[in-house]
Amino acid sequence: MKLVDTEETIVLVTGSSLTAEERDRPLAYLLKAEIDRRGAGHAYRRAVVVGDVWYLENRIFHMNPTIAIGGPGVNGVAREFGTFLPTVHSREEEVFVQADFEGDLKRASLWGVNAASTAAAVEVFSTQGHLEDLLGRIWRFRVGTFV
């Protein structure tokens, strides 16, 4: 049974350390709830939350749209994404949204200099058009798709 669709299911990645789990995983679940709500019950139009170690070891999921939550010091995926993703939003050198939705692989990294700043980055992403842009690009009508 198919559980995720590489084009429509978004993978949210947090760090795997205890600190990252405590601070960033709740933010990932808030973002997941918003993505799932916007998916309106369509089978694969949802998000899944995983740890960075798991994601880095399971390359098959690298085909999915992916959002790293937490800074490069606590999230290996954010560290990797930081080397090539452009910054699309920053506030006072504390809150950062990096994203590239143009190519085949859709990627974003949401982080801040502390837990509150990372929460602010997730809020900016969710409320200032970035999430809407991503969903508009991946949740379009596809030939052969029955809704």
The pTM assigned to this predicted structure is 0.92
Report the 3 state secondary structure along the chain: CCCCCCCCCEEEEECCCHHHHHHCHHHHHHHHHHHHHHHCCCCCCCEEEEEHHHHHHCHHHHHCCEEEECCCCCCHHHHHHCCCCCEEEEECCCEEEEEECCCCCCEEEEEECCHHHHHHHHHHHHHCCHHHHHHHHHCCCCCCCCC
| Residues 26-75 pLDDT 10s | 999 999 999 999 998 888 999 999 999 999 999 989 999 999 999 999 99
CATH dotted code for 10-138:
3.30.379
